[in-house]
A and B are shown apart, each in its own frame.
Chain A
Amino acid sequence: MFERIRSDFWYELVNSPVTVVSAIIIAVMIIGCTFAPVFAPHTPFDPATISIMDNNMPPAWADGADPRFLLGTDLQGRDVLSAMLYGGRISLLVGIGAVALSVVIGMTVGLLAGYFGGMTDAVLMRIAEIQFAFPPILIALLFNGILKASLPADVFAQAAVPIMILAIGLAGWVQFARIVRASAMVQRGQDYVTACHAIGLPTPTIILRHITPNILGPVLVLAMLQIAVAIVTEATLSFLGLGTPLTQPSLGALIQIGSQYLFSGIWWVVIFPGIMLLVMVVAFNLVADWVRDYLNPRLR
């Protein structure tokens, strides 16, 4: 894959300001959220540092605001900006973790099915086809819902992040399996694979060292698109109360908390996490679109 980063990479990138801006936004969000304890002005989920006296402060530019809280505070006096940084960390962690799991499962299934063909292919792809008929968000929702209904509440709350990574990752592998299988079938017929056989390389080496690097391009594009989907799925599950616990809210859970106070005019608790979620998702989508066009020069 790496030899495909051609000399025109930076030229193409600079010619697409939208992509540059999106990539910068993603980088800023990843750095800001990963080091949330460093950047956040407050520690919103430590009861010792929040004061109920600071509750429902509007953003800094509105009347009656406190300059300590740039984007205002929520009902319990937590700083909205800090909560967003901590929440974004969970959203990004689940989004990227779930896609990593999908990639691992999908590539394994796709390579096995595409390389070996025959019965292996028929059985694996039939399973994939059945799962493909159900929307991933529904699978993740039911998986999480069944676990939530069957595990004790405190156990579920503790394991919420790994459970969500598992649920969303298991719901999303089929698309990876399909594109990897299609590419693997093409690669299998190439001369270099025959050459590998001729010099007596073992099959696992051929698949991992020689075929895999040639199919990473489309996987990369799909992975970027799927991160956006996984972040939305995580936010949705948390919004429905099936995801992160309220003591450790992700962006979706923050929006859910805020949505309960819409009618009291406290709009900032909903709007700012909502904007952050939307910007994050759109940025990932735009970068993925650009990478796809870049790797597929016919579309230019």
Chain B
Amino acid sequence: MFFLLARLVQATVVMLCVALVGFLVFQFVGDPVLSLVGQETSVEDREALRESLGLNDPILLQYARYVVNAVQGDFGISYSFNRDVSEMIADRLPATIELVMLSGVLSLLLAIPAGIYTGIRRKGGIAQTIMALSVIGVSIPSFLLGILLILVFSVWLNWLPSFGRGDVAVMFGMRSSLFTWDGLSHALMPAAVLCLFQLGVILRLIRAEMLEVLRTDYIRFAWARGLPGQRVYFRHALKNTLVPVVTAIGLQLSSLFAFSIITERVFQWPGMGSLLLHAIGQSDIPLLAAYLIFVGLVFTISNLVVDAIYVLIDPRIRHGAL
């Protein structure tokens, strides 16, 4: 319990730091008054606006106000869209989430069996082929892979659409393009690109852990007891590979969010990543700061969840031995 509490405190500190960066960007980049009023506004009016916006208050007070507003989901108005920033994020979020979920599920479904297989039969032909392919999967930059897929499947073969999200349908109260064939065909290439890098990383990690565990004394003892292979591999070995694998999956899931910026750009997927790149291009500071804080939150929460899962699967942490 103490472990989780300490993590919670640390997470709060991290979020305050991220908010500080967001606030500093706000503070030192551009002048909010200038971006709100036109040329003809008088100096007195500007000063009045400055006062009413609280920009003359002590900097700590302004930071506190910024944090309080951010906690309530108020990140101000976007300069370039003239809309509520939190509303815009809420608009774009589902597209990114569906992409991240689809590729996350895909990579786990492929990586876990492949990692176990290559760990057990590490000298076999299939395992060697999988490992060679995973080197390429880890090495190839995801934007390059995306462009190559577009070149082959959209330009040369004309099988799949190369940009956009396609048709969106409502099911179970959620709007998603994953519920229509057209939407799925649009999501296939971006999800594959996003999944491949994670696939290589998780596969190699699971394989390395399997190799490590299979060398230990208790596994040798299990063989000596004459247990069937299935039982040794899946009941005895697999369990002990889980701890590092769970951390890696947690980290990988949040880095899917980061890599989705690239994938969304390549396939013009209308999600959070496209929004961020737009904000940078237009110097849209409120949007940029809000994105920063939002991503910080996603990362902090996913790390907390990973820590909580630790407590569940590793009794040594529960009993304070670590």
Contacts and interface: CB of A to CB of B under 8 A. Distances in A.
Contacts of A150: 25, 28-30, 283
The interface centre, meaning the residue of B17, B140, B141, B251 with most chain A CB atoms within 10 A of its CB, is B141
A98 to B, nearest CB: 16
A154 to B, nearest CB: 14
Interface string A53-69: 00000000000000000
Interface string B17-31: 100000001001110
Contact of A262 (B17, B142, B151, B281): B151
Contact of B147 (A232, A274, A282): A274
Contact of B288 (A130, A146, A259): A146
Interface residues of B, number: 44
A235 B143 CA distance: 9
Contacts of B299: 133-134
A148 B300 CA distance: 26
A47 interface: no
Interface stretch (A74-82, A135-143, A175-183): A135-143
Contact of A133 (B143, B251, B266): B251
A222 interface: no
Given A242-B280, A265-B155, A236 B262 contact: yes
B160 to A, nearest CB: 14
Interface residues of A, number: 37
Interface in A191-244: 228, 232, 235-236, 239-242
Q: Is the interface of A mostly helix, strand, loop or mixed?
A: helix
A144 to B, nearest CB: 8
A138 B258 contact: yes
Given A255-B147, A270-B151, A149 B262 contact: no
A73 interface: no
A292 B300 CA distance: 33
Contacts of B255: 135, 137-138
Interface of B: 10, 14, 17, 25, 28-30, 135-136, 138-144, 147-148, 150-151, 155, 251, 254-255, 258-259, 261-262, 265-266, 276-277, 279-281, 283-285, 288, 292, 295, 299-300, 303
Please name the 6 residue pairs, one residue from A and one from B, whose CB atoms are nearest each other, closest first: A138-B258, A150-B29, A145-B280, A135-B255, A149-B283, A135-B258
